[in-house]
Amino acid sequence: ISSIIKSLILLQTTPHEILISRCLLPGLSIAVVLVGNSSEVALAGAREKDDFLHMPLAPNVEVLTMNETDPKSIIKSICDLMTEHWLQGVVFGDDTDQEAIAQILDFISAQTHIPILGVRGGSSMIMAAKDDNSMFFQFGPSIEQQASVMLNIMEEYDWYIFSIVTTYYPGYLDFVNKIRSTIENSFVGWELEEVLLLDMSVDDGDSKIQNQLKKLQSPVILLYCTKEEANTIFEVAHSVGITGYGYTWIVPSLVAGDAEVIPAEFPTGLISVSYDEWDYGLEARVRDGVAVIAMATNTMMLDRGAHTLMKSECHGATDKKGPIAGNPNEVLRYLMNVTFEGRNLSFSEDGYQMHPKLVIILLDKMRQWDKVGKWENGSLSMKYHVWPRFELYSGAESREDDHLSIVTLEEAPFVIVEDVDPLSGTCMRNTVPCRKQNKTQDSGIYIKRCCKGFCIDILKKIAKHVKFTYDLYLVTNGKHGKKINGTWNGMVGEVETKKAHMAVGSLTINKERSEVIDFSVPFIETGISVMVSRSNGTVSPSAFLEPFSADVWVMMFVMLLLVSAIAVFVFEYLSPVGYNRCLADGREPGGPSFTIGKAIWLLWGLVFNNSVPVQNPKGWTSKIMVSVWAFFAVIFLASYTANLAAFMIQEEYVDQVSGLSDKKFQRPNDFSPPFRFGTVPNGSTERNIRNNYQEMHGYMVKFHQKNVDEALYGLKTGKLDAFIYDAAVLNYMAGRDEGCKLVTIGSGKVFASTGYGIAIQKESGWKRHVDLAILQLFGDGDMEELEAMWLTGICHHEKNEVMSSQLDVDNMAGVFYMLGAAMALSLITFIAEHAFYWQLRFCFMGYCTGKPGFVFSISRVSHAASENRSNCIHFDQSPRMPVTTLHSPPFAPPHTPVCPSVFTPIRTSSYTHSVSLYSPPSTPPHSDATYL
């Protein structure tokens, strides 16, 4: 081909033309050659030369239009322009799909050393390899760039499993190698199943191609070939059944070609990466092409001088404007760095734009190319959405059992929305791609997000069980769904208007919604619950008294002051051996005495375990009473100290409400300050309250919250006293709350019980399949695992709700019963003591029988041990007993008190003799003397 083209070039040049060209005045000239019959070519060719005067160096632009696209005509036209003008470059555009035009222009540039810029049609189509000496540039992407964009489209929709089909068209190795190198160095888990290389030149190729295409099982197929080859491949693929629903074909611009010519074999839903034909027409490209050459030439002249301007001719000789010869490819370096009107129009070494403006187009069911996305500055923006694919098919191809459009709503933990991974630009394996409308741009542009959560995991399991694929998007029109002026918004509205097949999320089942959509069986039970916040309390000044109720404290001091202390004092006072008995006898004035004040002080010291000086009673009755009181004091003090810590800490306060009928909800203004509560509008909770508690709903409207997060913030900051919402959401939020400050009343008490379900279009065949899948999840235990993973928190408020309570009389009754029994026992002891003293003690002394008694026997045994004891006997010279009166020994002073013990031994045998000679009267003596 190159030899033929070279011969044609030489035939077009005559010595006369060469002579004329050498006599022309030098200047900067750029030729614009437009080939084709389209209106766009005619419009671009009508531009006046003056339209280019504002450009650098004011180039002289020669515009040539022609209809012939054969190599001879193209070569002759360009050579004529080179001969007549001192051309510094050529801008070439056509409206054909002939990739041979690009090969012709590449060869002309290599032979003439003149920059040629292909801006449209066949002149801008991909070339596998250009001549090393060529300065042929193209407005378009390289093979590698288009391959990268195709992979980005698949990443956008998480199509990780794919195959590649190519022919032997030049550049196929670059295409395959680029794909392989990208997926090998990517974080995304790509799976390349097949790489098919089709030979289109063999006889009976269709049957061989058919056998090869039958190997394809992946849902996404990348195709690299020419437009003519694609016609044959798609025809065979259709016969195999891999061009219909469920298969996605993605092709480069080489296959799509001219957007106005669409072969019948191209399948509906075909995706192509193409140069922007919509916003970047031929006229704008020609203008930019002239500017690129002019800017590069201007920069080169400023750097290296005017002598670098080259004049090329078709016979192959190259002249310089000066005597100094230079490299014919000098301008190449300057074409690789061009900026015009703030846009980077630079080219790479292989002759393609470094930052091409690409579009993603889709062949819709009307057999028209539809712009669905764009690639600009290394970023992909897709309209939502290329799919669902059911919109692309009609008639017999229309199916509804494979791919669904599903709407959802962000609400943790059921649906959690995250950004894509910053490294890979994709969603992680535990998430699902979902799209959110970009409100700052055109309504058709959506931002890719990643969704996860309890409902998303349920959706993935149902899709796997029922065997369908889906596209997930976030609702923007409202939230869950509310009927306004007869029209539903939110998720319910999306399903009701058939914009979505299903709605998945925290959507409550109720009667009003069930009239326009169907619900699956509930996958989680919920209802209405109330959340409040724990507020920090203060320690009361009387907190140290709160372990016991006021009744206990009163009884404590009554028993202490009026009963116990008095009882001890009385017992001690009346005791025959007590201190006060000695006082009653008038012995030794100023001696020790046991008063009621000392009794109170003694019992007070025992209660509070104080080491204070006290005087203990002498009587046995008093001692028993004091001992029992000491035991009572131990129990009392232990109970007090055990409960004191609970009342001395800073106690948290929780608003106690019993339910929606609570007075705080029904009459909030009766409280000071008024009780504040609200909910999130446009949901089932608000609808339920509006229908059943109209006054309550009218009050709470001013406290409505935009979302759950805002409500929780209001509870924590004190702007809201209670938040009414779905129980499932509130229980999750309470369990995950930092610091466990938020609680639901009654440990998650639920009112108006219902459930969450999947919304499905009315009379859809999906309902039964979805119901069975959900029931199977319950039967297999998968639902319990998901609940444990997503709905379980770390806060267990049922433990925290155990409040401290005062110890009442009932709690302390046993101790007081014990104290009363001790007092009764003390009274019995008191009576027994007096009976023994006044009656029984004489029998022990032998008065009853006239023989030495039990006391006398003990005194004889212990006589030796008692020698050093200080004992005395008080003798009374009573006239009533003149014969038997005992005289005190010489060393004993008169009126010396005797020891109180009746078991004190007798000091001498003479005293014993005197006692033994004593004959007691028939009645006990009435003397006040103390007998031994």
- Both structure tokens of 750: 């639920």
- Mean pLDDT, rounded, for 231-240: 92
Place of tokens 């006054």: 695
* Gap between the Cα atoms of 270 and 372, Å rounded: 12
- Whether the per-residue pLDDT at 462 is higher than 90: the answer is yes
Residue 458 confidence (pLDDT): 95
CATH top class, domain 663-756: alpha beta
Residue 931 confidence (pLDDT): 34
- Both structure tokens of 288: 């930019």
Residue 137 confidence (pLDDT): 87
Residue 46 confidence (pLDDT): 52
Least confident of 144-158, 222-236, 777-791, 907-921: 907-921
- Whether the per-residue pLDDT at 426 is higher than 80: the answer is no
- Whether the per-residue pLDDT at 531 is higher than 80: the answer is yes
C-alpha distance across the termini of the chain, in Å = 155
- Whether the per-residue pLDDT at 179 is higher than 90: the answer is yes
Q: What angle do CA 135, 311, 332 make, to 5 degrees?
A: 25
DSSP letter at 121 equals G
Q: Is the CB of residue 859 less than 8 Å from the CB of residue 905?
A: yes
Residue 403 confidence (pLDDT): 75
- Mean pLDDT, rounded, for 268-294: 83
pLDDT in tens, 540-554: 666 667 788 888 888
Residue 912 confidence (pLDDT): 37
- Mean pLDDT, rounded, for 291-306: 77
Residue 560 confidence (pLDDT): 67
Least confident of 166-180, 327-341, 733-747, 904-918: 904-918
- Both structure tokens of 118: 């292909």
pLDDT band for position 872 (50/70/90)?
very low
Residue 164 confidence (pLDDT): 95
Residue 578 confidence (pLDDT): 64
pLDDT band for position 775 (50/70/90)?
very high
> What is the separation of C-alpha 524 from the centre of its chain, rounded to a whole number of angstroms?
19
Least confident of 187-191, 330-334, 581-585, 863-867: 863-867
Kindly report the backbone phi and psi dihedral angles of residue 526, in degrees, each rounded to the nearest multiple of 5, phi listed first: -150, -165
* Gap between the Cα atoms of 825 and 823, Å rounded: 5
Least confident of 82-86, 105-109, 578-582, 787-791: 578-582
Paired strand residues for 340: 343
Is residue 212 classed as helix, strand or coil in its secondary structure?
A: helix
Least confident of 84-93, 497-506, 509-518: 84-93
Place of tokens 């065997």: 467
**Mutual orientation of helices 565-574 and 620-648 as an angle, nearest 10°?**
170
Strand 310-312 relative to strand 318-320, pairing = antiparallel
- How buried is residue 666: exposed, middle or buried, by Cβ count under 10 Å (0-12/13-18/19+)? middle
The DSSP H or E segment spanning 165 is strand 161-167
Question: DSSP string spanning 273-303?
Answer: EEE-SSSS-HHHHHHHHHHHHHHHHHHHHHH
CATH top class, domain 550-581+593-649: mainly alpha
- How buried is residue 657: exposed, middle or buried, by Cβ count under 10 Å (0-12/13-18/19+)? buried
Q: Is the CB of residue 380 less than 8 Å from the CB of residue 152?
A: yes
Question: DSSP string spanning 750-792?
Answer: -EEEEEE--EE-TT-THHHHHHHHHHHHHHHTHHHHHHHHHT-
**Which architecture, in CATH terms, is 143-278+357-376?**
3-Layer(aba) Sandwich (3.40)
Residue 19 confidence (pLDDT): 33
- Whether the per-residue pLDDT at 929 is higher than 60: the answer is no
| Count of alpha carbons within 13 angstroms of residue 122, beta-carbon side | 22
- Whether the per-residue pLDDT at 251 is higher than 90: the answer is yes
Kindly report the backbone phi and psi dihedral angles of residue 193, in degrees, each rounded to the nearest multiple of 5, phi listed first: -80, -45
pLDDT band for position 802 (50/70/90)?
very low
- Mean pLDDT, rounded, for 637-648: 77
Tell me what percent of the residues of the chain surpass a pLDDT of 90. Answer: 15
pLDDT band for position 54 (50/70/90)?
low
- Whether the per-residue pLDDT at 676 is higher than 70: the answer is yes
Q: Is the CB of residue 756 less than 8 Å from the CB of residue 684?
A: no
- Mean pLDDT, rounded, for 405-413: 90
Kindly report the backbone phi and psi dihedral angles of residue 411, in degrees, each rounded to the nearest multiple of 5, phi listed first: -165, 105
Close Cβ partners of 173 (under 8 Å, ≥ 6 residues apart): none
Question: DSSP string spanning 636-692?
Answer: HHHHHHHHHHHHHS--EE-----STTSHHHHSGGGSSSPP-EE--SSSHHHHHHHHH
Most confident range, picked from 107-121, 231-245, 340-354, 625-639 = 231-245
- Mean pLDDT, rounded, for 896-923: 38
Residue 884 confidence (pLDDT): 37
- Whether the per-residue pLDDT at 882 is higher than 50: the answer is no
CATH 2.170.190.11 is right for the domain spanning 403-523: no
DSSP letter at 745 equals G
Say which residue, 796 or 906, is predicted with more confidence. Answer: 796
Amino acid (one-letter) located at 406: I
- Whether the per-residue pLDDT at 444 is higher than 80: the answer is no
Paired strand residues for 432: 451
- Mean pLDDT, rounded, for 77-95: 84
Cis peptide before 522 (omega within 30 of 0): no
* Gap between the Cα atoms of 318 and 18, Å rounded: 12
For the chain, the domains span: 29-140+281-316+327-346, 143-278+357-376, 403-523, 550-581+593-649, 663-756
Residue 141 confidence (pLDDT): 86
- Whether the per-residue pLDDT at 805 is higher than 60: the answer is no
- Both structure tokens of 306: 């005017």
pLDDT band for position 201 (50/70/90)?
confident
pLDDT in tens, 113-171: 888 888 887 777 777 677 777 888 888 888 889 999 999 888 877 788 899 999 998 88
- Both structure tokens of 634: 């131990």
Q: CA of 604: how far to CAs of 372, 597, 599, 601, 637, in Å?
A: 92, 10, 9, 5, 12
Domains 143-278+357-376 and 403-523 share a fold: no
Is residue 536 classed as helix, strand or coil in its secondary structure?
A: strand
Q: Is the CB of residue 402 less than 8 Å from the CB of residue 388?
A: no
- Whether the per-residue pLDDT at 585 is higher than 60: the answer is no
* Gap between the Cα atoms of 61 and 85, Å rounded: 10
Least confident of 212-226, 502-516, 656-670: 656-670
- Mean pLDDT, rounded, for 778-792: 89
Say which residue, 574 or 923, is predicted with more confidence. Answer: 574
Question: DSSP string spanning 38-88?
Answer: SHHHHHHHT--GGGGTTSTT--EEEEEEE---SHHHHHHHHHHHHHHS-EE
- Whether the per-residue pLDDT at 631 is higher than 50: the answer is yes
- Whether the per-residue pLDDT at 839 is higher than 60: the answer is yes
Residue 30 confidence (pLDDT): 85
pLDDT band for position 441 (50/70/90)?
low
- Mean pLDDT, rounded, for 774-783: 92
> What is the separation of C-alpha 434 from the centre of its chain, rounded to a whole number of angstroms?
16
Q: Is the CB of residue 222 less than 8 Å from the CB of residue 250?
A: yes
- Mean pLDDT, rounded, for 370-387: 75
Q: CA of 65: how far to CAs of 39, 82, 123, in Å?
A: 12, 16, 15
pLDDT band for position 451 (50/70/90)?
very high
Least confident of 202-206, 538-542, 787-791, 845-849: 538-542
* Gap between the Cα atoms of 560 and 574, Å rounded: 20
Q: What is the dihedral of CA 819, 822, 826, 827, to 10 degrees?
A: 80
**Which architecture, in CATH terms, is 29-140+281-316+327-346?**
3-Layer(aba) Sandwich (3.40)
Say which residue, 796 or 817, is predicted with more confidence. Answer: 817
* Gap between the Cα atoms of 618 and 607, Å rounded: 20
Say which residue, 780 or 27, is predicted with more confidence. Answer: 780
- Average pLDDT over the chain reads 75
Amino acid (one-letter) located at 886: L
Q: Is the CB of residue 224 less than 8 Å from the CB of residue 167?
A: yes
